[in-house]
């Protein structure tokens, strides 16, 4: 009993290791697994090796956000990202989710549509990818830092077509719950479809989805409402990156965009809002900047998750200073499956190998990073 009291006191001295109530979910600590594409779901089907991967990163009362998961055939952008639009995909997710739950973890599925960040090679019947615009995305260096991705000019969705995409997000959320997930995170960040609608450097529409802030955010909020109505608002989160310029999706007034989104989200009473730090302008580039998420934090009434280049020290600081409730970790969680334990003990961290982030090997760079108890 004394040992347990000592452990609890130690936890209280480490802000990231303190408990937190996120709606109906009781979290034992504030270290969140960020959504991380790993491109090991062959043929868009989640694979058995993902059972070990997510299980390794599960803790009793810890929140995990799954990798970006495609909502429909038109949402794909590359090979081997998992989907959740077919019965086979739903069934393949079940043993993965079950293993996370066996460890006491809380598991949200990140549901995603790439929009124009795609090419006809990944589209059904070789059709053009869809977007809010017909503006072509210029070739981009892939996340591995080596390969160059080339894109097909997108087809602009008509006003009448947007409800079909909203419905695909709703069905994906329903499928996620059927697969056993505790909730879903709507991927509204990083220059993918929802972000394309929100950002004025991409969205050149003249209908009710273009022009004003209200119009550009309409698509995102219609998705939030549809998904919340389908599975319950307490099971819904959203990720946004108003300050980022991933995939040529920048905005001329990101502070106003972020503030409008979080104030609008307050109406839906969802589980959380997950925001990428302004210092992360692109996927691999952390910069010094004067912009801050504090105004968004103050305006948002629910659970506020931050992500973007955090380590243990500034993760603890952001919690102490009440600039966030939870902190999502990506690269450090890839190379340290027991990251919460390492943060608790202030143990040294394994270095990550960026070259294996997106390779298709089911073990190397995926499940072979050592845990503390296996290190001698």
How far are the Cα atoms of 34, 50, 297, 319 from residue 55, in angstroms, in the given order?
15, 8, 31, 26
Dist CA 24 CA 237 (whole Å):
13
How far are the Cα atoms of 86, 104, 194, 200, 236 from residue 95, in angstroms, in the given order?
16, 14, 30, 41, 22
Of 126, 37, 111, 35, nearest in space to 74 by CA: 126
87-102 vs 49-56: helix axis angle to the nearest 10? Answer: 40
Alpha helix segments (H runs only) across 87-192: 87-102, 162-178
* Secondary structure letter of residue 368 according to DSSP: -
Of 90, 94, 38, 95, nearest in space to 68 by CA: 38
Of 191, 193, 207, 176, nearest in space to 244 by CA: 191
Contact 328, 65 (CB under 8 A): yes
Q: What are phi and psi of 249, to 5 degrees?
A: -115, 75
Other Cβ atoms less than 10 A from the Cβ of 265: the count is 24
Q: Are strands 326-329 and 303-307 parallel, antiparallel or unpaired?
A: parallel
Which residues form the catalytic set? 192
Extract the tokens encoding 206.
Answer: 């003249």
Angle at 48 between CA 46 and CA 52, to 5 degrees: 110
């Amino acid at each position: 009993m004394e040992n347990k009291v000592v452990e609890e006191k130690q936890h209280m001295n480490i802000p990231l290791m303190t408990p937190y109530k996120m709606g109906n979910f009781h979290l034992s600590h504030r270290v969140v697994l960020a959504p991380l594409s790993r491109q090991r779901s062959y043929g868009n089907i989640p694979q058995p090796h993902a059972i070990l991967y997510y299980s390794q990163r599960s803790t009793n009362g810890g929140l995990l956000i799954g990798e970006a998961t495609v909502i429909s055939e038109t949402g794909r952008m590359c090979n081997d990202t998992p989907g959740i639009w077919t019965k086979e995909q739903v069934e393949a997710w079940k043993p993965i989710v079950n293993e996370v739950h066996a460890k006491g973890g809380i598991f949200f599925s990140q549901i995603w549509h790439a929009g124009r960040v795609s090419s006809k090679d990944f589209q059904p019947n070789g059709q053009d990818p869809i977007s809010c615009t017909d503006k072509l995305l210029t070739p981009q260096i892939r996340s591995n830092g080596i390969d160059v991705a080339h894109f097909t000019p997108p087809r602009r969705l008509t006003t009448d077509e947007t409800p079909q995409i909203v419905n695909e997000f709703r069905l994906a959320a329903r499928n996620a719950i059927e697969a056993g997930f505790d909730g879903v995170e709507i991927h509204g960040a990083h220059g993918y479809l929802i972000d394309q609608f929100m950002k004025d450097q991409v969205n050149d529409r003249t209908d009710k989805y273009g022009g004003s802030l209200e119009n550009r955010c309409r698509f995102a909020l219609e998705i939030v409402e549809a998904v919340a109505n389908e599975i319950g608002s307490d099971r819904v989160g959203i990720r946004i990156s108003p300050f980022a310029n991933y995939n040529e999706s920048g905005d001329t007034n990101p502070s106003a965009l972020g503030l409008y989104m979080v104030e609008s989200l307050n109406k839906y009473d969802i589980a959380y809002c997950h925001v990428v730090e302004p210092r992360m302008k692109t996927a691999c580039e952390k910069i010094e900047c004067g912009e801050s998420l504090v105004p968004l934090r103050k305006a948002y009434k629910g659970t506020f998750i931050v992500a973007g280049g955090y380590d243990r020290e500034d993760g603890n600081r952001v919690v102490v200073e009440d600039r966030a409730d939870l902190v999502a970790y990506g690269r450090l969680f890839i190379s340290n499956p027991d990251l919460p334990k390492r943060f608790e003990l202030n143990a040294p961290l394994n270095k990550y190998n960026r070259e294996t982030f997106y390779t298709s090997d089911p073990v190397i760079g995926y499940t072979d990073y050592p845990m503390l108890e296996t290190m001698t």
